[in-house]
A and B are shown apart, each in its own frame.
Chain A
Amino acid sequence: MLNYAWLVLIFPLVGVIINTFFGRYLGKRGAGILASAMVGLSFVGAVWMFAELLGLEDRVVTRPLFDWISVGDFNVQVKLLIDPLSSVMAVVVSGVSFLIHIYSIGYMAHDERFVRFFAYLNLFVFAMLTLVLAENLLVTYVGWEGVGLCSYLLIGFWFERKAAADAGKKAFLVNRVGDVGFALGLMMLFVTFGTLSMSQVLEQAMVVRLMPGVATAIALLLFVGAVGKSAQIPLYVWLPDAMEGPTPVSALIHAATMVTAGVYMVARTHMLFALSPTALTWVAAIGGLTAFFAATIALTQHDLKRVLAYSTISQLGYMFLGVGVGAYAAGIFHLTTHAFFKALLFLGAGSVMHALAGELDIRKMGGLRNKIPVTFWTFLFAALAIAGFPGLAGFFSKDEILWQTFANGKTLLWALALLTAGLTAFYIFRLVFTVFYGESRVDKKVAAHIHESPKVMTAPMAILAFFSVIGGYIGVPKILGGSNWIEHYLDGSLGWHAPEAAIAETAHASAGTEWALLILSVIVALAGIGLAYVFYVRRTDLPTRVAKSLGGLYTLVYNKYKVDELYMAVIVKPLRAVGKFFAESVDGPVVDGIAEGIAALVALIGRGLQALQTGLARNYALGILVGAVLLLAYALVR
């Protein structure tokens, strides 16, 4: 299979092509099944690759596909890089995407542009897999931009709605800011190492002594790209708005195909980050802060999907915290488990919307536990997993990050992350309790039609619930009797550390401390859940009173710290003003003047030439004769 690794990429692309050109002949069912099957095949291939890789001694395999660009010294060979990191990622991406595809068959059943939707989804998966499997960073970049394009298309899928079209544009523009950083980082990388091939960069990073600051600059520029794509402070603002897209798209973006790209890219280029402790500290700090910051916003929102969106931002913060303290494997581990439960949470949210005719405000829900039981139970498992309930997926991965942060000596960030864990448990169970417990606050009209979603939607949810429960057992830490298998496996890709990397300190912390921290985080998680129970089931008057007593602070958080407004005031408006100034006083008279002058001159010459084109053959013959005389003169005089 490793020799046929390209098949993993090709399947979704085939789906795109078939659905684009022949989709309308397939009918809705056909198109949906085809698209799902293509991603399913891709998943099978990815699993196969993964299994085959397990049997190998040297688990870094490259497979050249073709020479893409070769101009002078600049050669780009399109190669696939299959190693522990990319194989895990490929399995997660294709697997979760596959389930979301199936779910979409039910969810989008009544949409007019059904076929187009599936073509976009396939393209999205194709772009993401390209990004994941690429050996050359330029190819990664192609996938990176492809992912950006697809997110734009899908978030704005219902472009008739202004909010959706705006959200699509916002996602595209904010990502662009990050992409500029990424592109600059790649250019600098090429200038420094003379190559964009991952393995060659790795080789050289081991031997080349870089100018101080160069590694930091490259790493930070790449990180800017990751910040944009993975929605971290300060570029996270697009993700909450991305809710305007169809819910399966949210699930896809949040779990499998888009926001994880930033984390993956940092892990992929970890050799550059490892060279620069400064850059790593930045990554950890941004990650930790984002985790906390987004979690507080999630506490206050009333829009079901918006809470989940901020939750994603927060969880991505955890992942960056993990990679930022040099625990790349822990970051990827959390990425994997998060993919399961976050996809499930979104699919659950979609199922709730499906039942309530599109309602998203949790104040208009409640008591749905018995009416849509499958959705409830699966949602509950996902919530437990993200809250860090002992034994579930999120517990192991989140705890690994917390522990590594502590062991790395970043105590402050650890405390922040621990607090965030409590907040996470609280806000997610706030959702569970307000949506599924208590009195029904559903509109009378809507209430009559509450129904469980069809099997095609609930089956993927059940599968994801299963993985949300057991997904963590690939990384059970040593003190709990496990072997932390995933970390050892990923060592094949991520095992390279610069000599001065701080990760070595891990050994100093004792098993006793680890136990203590573990118990502490369990207590925090349970406390969060318990508090949510008190607030939203027992004493439902409490939330309002707390909100009142907090007064201005609550309003500030509720309004998402007014960051959108801040950006509007500080960045967008001044830029507009500057733009206006240039447009009116510089661009108009000066630049336009010159440009128009040149354009007019060119057009004038053009008209002159047209006038020569008299339509008379003898004039044309004259042209030939004149040319002949001139050429002859040159030849004979020279």
Chain B
Amino acid sequence: MSLSSLHYFILSAILFTIGGIGVLVRRNVFVIFMCVEMMLNAVNLSLIAFARYLNKADGQLLVLFVMAIAAAEVVVGLAILVALHRKRPTTDADEMNVLRG
């Protein structure tokens, strides 16, 4: 059996869902970051697969952009986390609930 772009897409969707569930259930901020990264990379997978299937380069190009942006995003996230950690030494996302109601 040969792999079609549909297989890649399904795999990508599964990875995306796992990442999404991770964001919902995990409490450690680092893990949540990784889950978001996982979602992005899941999309990357299908982008590459589609690009291969369509025989076009622009899909792969977007993947590169996504990787760059993901890196930038993580930097910002970690910076905020460091600042938070200074005020209150925790990495538990559930403790960040002063703002509510």
> Does a CB–CB distance below 8 Å link A and B in the complex?
yes
Which residues of A pack against B, CB within 8 Å? 610, 613-618, 621-622, 625
A-B pairs with beta carbons under 8 A, tally? 31
Besides the contacts A615-B101, A616-B93, A618-B25, what 7 more A-B pairs have beta carbons closer than 8 Å?
Answer: A610-B101, A615-B97, A615-B100, A616-B97, A617-B93, A618-B23, A625-B20
Is B58 at the interface (CB under 8 A from chain A)?
A: no
Docked CA distance A617–B101 (Å): 13
B23 shortest CB reach to chain A, Å? 5
Selected from A610, A613, A615, A618, the residue in CB contact (under 8 A) with B24 is A618
Is B94 at the interface (CB under 8 A from chain A)?
A: yes
Docked CA distance A616–B24 (Å): 10
Which residues B25-45 have CB closer than 8 A to chain A? 25-27, 32
B24 in contact with A621 (CB, 8 Å): yes
Which residues B59-101 have CB closer than 8 A to chain A? 93-94, 96-101
List, in ascending order, chain A residues with CB within 8 A of B97's CB: 614-616
B interface residues, how many (CB within 8 angstroms): 15
Docked CA distance A625–B32 (Å): 15
Can you give 13 contacting A-B residue pairs, CB < 8 Å? A610-B101, A614-B97, A614-B100, A615-B97, A615-B99, A616-B93, A616-B100, A617-B96, A618-B23, A618-B26, A621-B20, A621-B23, A621-B24
**Nearest residue, chain A, Cβ from B98:** A615
B16 shortest CB reach to chain A, Å? 11
B100 shortest CB reach to chain A, Å? 3
Q: Which 7 pairs from chain A and chain B are nearest by CB? A: A615-B100, A615-B97, A610-B101, A621-B23, A618-B24, A621-B24, A616-B97
List, in ascending order, chain B residues with CB within 8 A of A614's CB: 97, 100
A616 in contact with B94 (CB, 8 Å): yes
**Nearest residue, chain A, Cβ from B100:** A615
List, in ascending order, chain B residues with CB within 8 A of A615's CB: 96-101
**Nearest residue, chain A, Cβ from B94:** A616
List, in ascending order, chain A residues with CB within 8 A of B96's CB: 615, 617
Docked CA distance A616–B100 (Å): 8
List, in ascending order, chain B residues with CB within 8 A of A625's CB: 20, 24
Docked CA distance A625–B17 (Å): 10
List, in ascending order, chain B residues with CB within 8 A of A616's CB: 93-94, 97, 100
Selected from A613, A618, A621, A622, the residue in CB contact (under 8 A) with B100 is A613
B101 in contact with A613 (CB, 8 Å): yes
Docked CA distance A615–B23 (Å): 15
A610 shortest CB reach to chain B, Å? 5
List, in ascending order, chain A residues with CB within 8 A of B24's CB: 618, 621-622, 625
**Nearest residue, chain B, Cβ from A609:** B101
List, in ascending order, chain B residues with CB within 8 A of A610's CB: 101
B36 shortest CB reach to chain A, Å? 10
List, in ascending order, chain B residues with CB within 8 A of A618's CB: 23-27, 93-94
**Nearest residue, chain B, Cβ from A614:** B100
List, in ascending order, chain A residues with CB within 8 A of B25's CB: 618
List, in ascending order, chain A residues with CB within 8 A of B27's CB: 618
A371 shortest CB reach to chain B, Å? 74
B82 shortest CB reach to chain A, Å? 18
Docked CA distance A169–B36 (Å): 65
List, in ascending order, chain A residues with CB within 8 A of B99's CB: 615
B91 shortest CB reach to chain A, Å? 13
A122 shortest CB reach to chain B, Å? 48
Find the residue from A613, A617, A622 having the highest chain B CB count within 10 A: A617
List, in ascending order, chain B residues with CB within 8 A of A621's CB: 20, 23-24
A636 shortest CB reach to chain B, Å? 13
List, in ascending order, chain A residues with CB within 8 A of B94's CB: 616, 618
Docked CA distance A622–B98 (Å): 19
**Nearest residue, chain A, Cβ from B99:** A615
